[in-house]
Amino acid sequence: MDTPRLNDVLVRSGLAEFTRDIKLGKFEHSVAVARKTVLIINNLIKTNNWKTVRDLIGTLKEVCAYIDSLNLVETSAGNMTRRIMRIVRDECRNFNAQQQGNQEEGALDTNRDEIDDLHLNLIMDHTTGIKENILEGIGTELMEELTGSGKIIAEQATDYVQSDEIILTLGRSKVIENFLSYAAKGCSKSGQRKFTVIVVELAPFYSGREMAKTLNKSGITTLIIPDSAVFAIMSRVNKVIMSTHSMMANGGIKAPAGSHSIALAAKHYSVPVIVCCPMYKLTPSYLVSHDSVAFKQFSHLHAAFPEPYTPKQQHQQQPTNPGIASIDQSVQMQNLGASGNRPLSSTSDSQQANLSSSVEAIHSTFDYVPPELITLFVSNIGGNSPSYVYQLLNELYYKLDYIN
């Protein structure tokens, strides 16, 4: 497709504005990006008169290449575009199988990445019904997955959370929040299983504190710890349960900063690491370098502390909910001198406040956790080991759509 025509497609479909909003960080959750992508591509297919399947695939490839060229940190947009391309190819393949007298399905599945180009020349009109089947497939497969994947993952919680366990998680994640809350409800029905959750607060934004409040409301015994206490407490933990931003093609994950150190501590103490990840986060991308654009997202600490930060603020922000314990309550001496009356630093609070207002500090947003540090993925299709991710890629994507 020539550049003027591609630009026209991007503008008319709303993709140009959509990707600009992604770069500006207007979407808080990956599922919102994935859902918006599916709606835009679905409307693009529905409102245009495609002569052949080849024309549609060509346009989707151009759209996918455009998304990839933006080097977006959010991978869900590219993932959903490739998933839709798989649906298009599958419908084309199924139609040809029916036209040829329902040839052996097994042979078609085995060589599905070697589709004859002639198959893509199918005419997309009302006589073939391919366009309608594609739109139906997008609605039933992708939209239902995006809507129900969180619930499906949560319903598996009772299989992984056992009696009297101590579970460690980090920061705030809606998927983990629902997962643990469902486990608490499922356990309370039997009246036998209770468990404790240790939440790493994830400085400097302290999203773990909000997570702890939510879990406490669900009746879960919750303990908040600072990031520096992870290794010290890991020996008492039964399992680590975390979420991820993206599942990489090799079974590694792009997760919130701090995840790698937690996974390393878990490996040292032979604690299993379970990652809850819906399949729309599976991307056919690899970690080429730790300096790659996909991992180069930084947060300014001024976003965490709009006012000049002083050491007193850390203690002022401690949770006041009586049901939530904090390790700082028992380790008060870590920030005090030998007398217990003043900070170890000789710098006054006013000097630190002036320094913080004149220094621009940035904080990495993501960590890469390699597959050897992960025990199991829990997704909307069940539990799988990191080594099975290659098979999942074959089931969800065509190699033709992500290998140049």
Do residues 313 and 305 lie in contact, with contact meaning Cβ atoms separated by under 8 Å? yes
Tell me: do 82 and 183 sit in the same domain.
no
Q: Would you say residue 230 lies in a domain? A: yes
User: Torsion over CA of 216, 222, 228 and 231, rounded to 10 degrees?
Assistant: -150
Tell me: do 133 and 84 sit in the same domain.
yes
pLDDT of 371 > 70? The answer is: yes
| Bigger pLDDT: 286 vs 104 | 286
Among residues 150, 172, 205, the one where a domain terminates is 150
Tell me: do 107 and 159 sit in the same domain.
no
| Bigger pLDDT: 252 vs 5 | 252
CATH code for position 198: 3.40.50.10470
* Reported confidence tier of residue 128, pLDDT bands at 50, 70, 90: low
Q: Would you say residue 256 lies in a domain? A: yes
pLDDT of 188 > 90? The answer is: no
Residue 395 burial by Cβ neighbours in a 10 Å radius (0-12, 13-18, 19+): exposed
pLDDT tens sequence across 283-299: 998 876 555 555 555 55
Q: Would you say residue 403 lies in a domain? A: no
Tell me: do 132 and 157 sit in the same domain.
no
Q: Would you say residue 401 lies in a domain? A: no
- Closest by alpha carbon to 166, among 198, 199, 212, 213? 198
Tell me: do 114 and 243 sit in the same domain.
no
28-37, 51-60, 369-378: least confidently modelled range:
51-60
CATH code for position 20: 1.20.120.420
Tell me: do 200 and 284 sit in the same domain.
yes
The pLDDT score that the predictor gives to residue 356 is 56
Count of domains forming the chain: 2
Tell me: do 242 and 326 sit in the same domain.
yes
Tell me: do 100 and 158 sit in the same domain.
no
For residue 185, give its domain range.
Answer: 153-394
Q: Which residues contact 264 (CB under 8 A, 6 or more apart)?
A: 373
Dihedral sign from CA coordinates of 261, 264, 269, 274: positive
Among residues 150, 183, 215, the one where a domain terminates is 150
Q: Would you say residue 399 lies in a domain? A: no
65-74, 107-116, 181-190, 269-278: least confidently modelled range:
107-116
pLDDT of 27 > 90? The answer is: no
Query: Can you give the pTM of this predicted structure?
Result: 0.81
The pLDDT score that the predictor gives to residue 315 is 44
Cα-to-chain-centroid distance, residue 385: 17
Tell me: do 213 and 292 sit in the same domain.
yes
Tell me: do 20 and 167 sit in the same domain.
no
Q: With pLDDT > 90 as the criterion, what percentage of the chain qualifies?
A: 46
Q: Would you say residue 400 lies in a domain? A: no
Tell me: do 118 and 84 sit in the same domain.
yes
The tokens describing 299, both together, are 């947060």
Q: Would you say residue 144 lies in a domain? A: yes
Q: Would you say residue 265 lies in a domain? A: yes
The pLDDT score that the predictor gives to residue 68 is 87
Tell me: do 142 and 237 sit in the same domain.
no
Among residues 150, 171, 196, the one where a domain terminates is 150
